[in-house]
């Protein structure tokens, strides 16, 4: 059986946008990585 990872990379030059996206997406159960 193959495991599935729900991950999202967040790429934006605005720190506040990255923060909001990380908080919002994390609440849905997605793993986030800010770059």
Per-residue model confidence (pLDDT) at position 20: 96
Per-residue model confidence (pLDDT) at position 1: 59
Chunk the chain into consecutive blocks of 10 residues (it has 35) and report each block's average pLDDT, rounded to whole numbers.
77 95 92 87
- Tokens, residue 18: 């990255």
Closest CA to 15 of 31, 35, 33, 32: 35
Residue with tokens 């997406």: 25
The reported pTM is: 0.71
């Amino acid at each position: 059986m193959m495991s599935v990872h729900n991950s999202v990379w967040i790429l934006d030059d605005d720190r506040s946008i990255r923060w909001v996206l990380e908080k919002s997406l994390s609440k849905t159960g997605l793993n986030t990585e800010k770059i």
